[in-house]
């Protein structure tokens, strides 16, 4: 029905326009040749969209669109805003003739958008929504960590954790930070706690160390010395099979924090789009199954600074994240700079390709859990944060980590040669050793290396000595080299042992 049947005279149109101002409407009427013509008011529609909490969220030179309800920020798209407007129009109150109180019909209003959606719903126009000037993000502090659930947020400190109402929240949070479940204080004695104990080699001290590592990852505080967590296997084998629980541990972290998992086999540190799947609310990067012989130094800046998210056709932006690295093999982590950027943890051999957590617990983790098991899991994770805030990261005693690094970064023959010399007292800390004599002794024991282009060179043999010494419990420390009367000498120097707790 044409709206002119309801509004016939110019003075009536004036009265109607005054009445329209009292509604959440974004259309207006004007008289054209004694006919009432309706149009979408661009200023009013922007004001209406803003009134529902939609804003532009700036990220460096680029931006996204968000909706802010109370203190929760939800990333949305232009299509989302379009659908919201269409839904609003469809749900307006109309009379039996499908006429709104303002005088426009449902079809007249909808046709405005169907005819030219790009005019009203385009990125340039919606960018005029502007930013929220009083937007302060709620973030973890040095002493406290916050985890968000449907019924409130959990505040963790070194003395414990408690549930609080969202009314007590000081800043804003992203919607994706809220877990889709409720929280209450409960026992921590669930299947996941047993899983953590199992992958820790069924050792209480190592289990406690792993719990503090989990707590470190869950604590979203970055004004400190940042370290990546390197999860590796403990098995000494020529074939790295995995299946020890590294991926499952990463997925557990993702039940609490926003984790961006990236296939390590496809990860290229030189590719500027390597973190393209991350988003503004990503909290942890999980490089899963990182390829063999990966150069750990390539991650130094990403670990200590912010990662750069560079998506195709969009302006890059930076995000502060923590990082998990999972690999079957070990990395060469030598020197103070490298060791200062990593927390290494070996997973025990409890699980393997033939025996999984599903075999042991008769359920799929997360998918098959009931509410009680979820509460046990959540309370265990909150307790991990509390342990970390109280003790810091506790260093785990190695299982086979040093031995695996010796073999993987030299070779088995060289390791056997060094172990024999150390056991016989022929090599120890302190004395000077002629490198050429040591090299000749090795070649005498393993004559096949006389034909090895790499190891038959004394300089490369020295590289093996350095690598071995840095991972040896007997020689662990720096190496001092000197020359005298044309001969080259090497000494394995003693250094102080590292403290049990790594302070951040």
Q: What pLDDT, on a 0 to 100 scale, did the predictor assign at position 477? A: 65
Query: What is the rounded distance in angstroms from the CA atom of residue 221 to the CA atom of residue 115?
Result: 50
What are the sequence ranges of the domains in the chain? 3-129, 191-401, 410-502
Distances from the Cα of 300 to the Cαs of 119, 305, 346, 441, in angstroms?
46, 8, 21, 38
Q: What pLDDT, on a 0 to 100 scale, did the predictor assign at position 273? A: 93
Mean pLDDT, the chain, rounded, equals 85
Is the alpha carbon torsion for 438, 460, 294, 272 positive or negative?
positive
Query: What is the rounded distance in angstroms from the CA atom of residue 294 to the CA atom of residue 275?
Result: 17
Adjacent-strand bridge partners of 29: 38
> Which of these, 248, 187, 219, 149, lies nearest to 375 by C-alpha position?
187
Query: What is the rounded distance in angstroms from the CA atom of residue 90 to the CA atom of residue 113?
Result: 12
Q: Which residues of the chain have pLDDT under 50?
A: 1-23, 497-504
Q: What pLDDT, on a 0 to 100 scale, did the predictor assign at position 8? A: 30
Query: What is the rounded distance in angstroms from the CA atom of residue 30 to the CA atom of residue 23?
Result: 17
Domain 191-401, second-level architecture: 3-Layer(aba) Sandwich (3.40)
Is the alpha carbon torsion for 352, 357, 360, 362 positive or negative?
negative
pLDDT digits (tens, 9 = 90+) for 17-50: 333 343 478 998 888 877 888 889 999 999 999 9
- DSSP β-ladder status, 160-164 and 152-157: antiparallel
Q: What pLDDT, on a 0 to 100 scale, did the predictor assign at position 6? A: 32
Adjacent-strand bridge partners of 451: none
What counts of helices (H) and strands (E) characterise the chain?
Answer: 17, 21
Query: What is the rounded distance in angstroms from the CA atom of residue 292 to the CA atom of residue 274?
Result: 18
């Amino acid at each position: 029905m044409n709206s002119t049947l309801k509004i016939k005279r110019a003075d009536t149109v004036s009265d109607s326009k005054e009445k329209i101002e009292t509604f959440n409407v974004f259309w207006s009427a004007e008289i054209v040749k004694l006919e009432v013509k309706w149009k979408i008011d661009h200023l009013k529609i922007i004001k209406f969209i803003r009134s529902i909490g939609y804003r532009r969220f700036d990220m460096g030179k680029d931006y996204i669109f968000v909706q802010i309800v109370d203190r929760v920020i939800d990333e949305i798209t232009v299509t989302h805003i379009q659908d919201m407007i269409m839904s609003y129009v469809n749900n307006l109150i109309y009379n039996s003739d499908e006429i709104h109180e303002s005088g426009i019909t449902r079809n007249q209003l909808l046709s405005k958008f169907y005819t030219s959606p790009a005019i009203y719903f385009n990125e340039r126009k919606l960018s005029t929504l502007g930013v929220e000037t009083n937007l302060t993000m709620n973030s973890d502090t040095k002493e406290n960590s916050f985890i968000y659930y449907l019924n409130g947020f959990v505040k963790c400190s070194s003395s414990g954790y408690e549930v609080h109402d969202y009314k007590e929240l000081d800043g804003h949070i992203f919607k994706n930070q809220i877990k889709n479940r409720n929280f209450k204080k409960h026992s921590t004695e669930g299947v996941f706690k047993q899983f953590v104990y199992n992958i820790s080699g069924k050792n209480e001290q190592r289990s406690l160390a792993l719990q503090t590592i989990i707590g470190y990852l869950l604590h979203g505080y970055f004004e400190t010395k940042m370290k990546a967590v390197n999860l590796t296997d403990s098995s000494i084998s020529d074939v790295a099979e995995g299946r020890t629980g590294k991926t499952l541990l990463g997925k557990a972290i993702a039940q609490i924090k926003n984790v961006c998992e990236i296939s390590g086999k496809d990860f290229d540190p030189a590719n500027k789009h390597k973190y393209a799947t991350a988003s503004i609310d990503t909290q942890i990067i999980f490089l899963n199954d990182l390829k063999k012989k990966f150069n750990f130094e390539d991650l130094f800046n990403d670990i200590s600074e912010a990662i750069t998210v560079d998506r195709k056709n969009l302006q890059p932006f930076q995000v502060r994240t923590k990082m998990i690295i999972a690999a079957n093999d070990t990395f060469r982590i030598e020197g103070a700079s490298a060791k200062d950027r990593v927390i290494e943890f070996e997973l025990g051999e409890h699980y393997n390709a033939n025996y999984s957590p599903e075999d042991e617990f008769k359920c799929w983790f997360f998918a098959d859990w009931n509410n009680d098991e979820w509460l046990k899991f959540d309370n265990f994770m909150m307790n991990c944060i509390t342990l970390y805030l109280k003790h810091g990261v506790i260093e785990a005693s190695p299982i086979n980590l040093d031995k695996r690094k010796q073999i993987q970064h030299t070779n088995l023959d060289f390791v056997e040669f060094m172990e024999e010399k150390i056991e016989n007292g022929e090599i120890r800390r302190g004395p000077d050793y002629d490198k050429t004599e040591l090299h000749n002794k090795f070649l005498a024991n393993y004559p096949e290396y006389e034909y090895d282009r790499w190891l038959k060179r004394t300089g490369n043999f020295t590289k093996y000595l350095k690598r071995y010494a840095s991972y040896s419990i007997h020689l662990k420390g720096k190496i001092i080299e000197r020359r005298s009367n044309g001969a080259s000498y090497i000494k394995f120097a003693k250094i102080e042992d590292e403290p049990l707790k790594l302070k951040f």
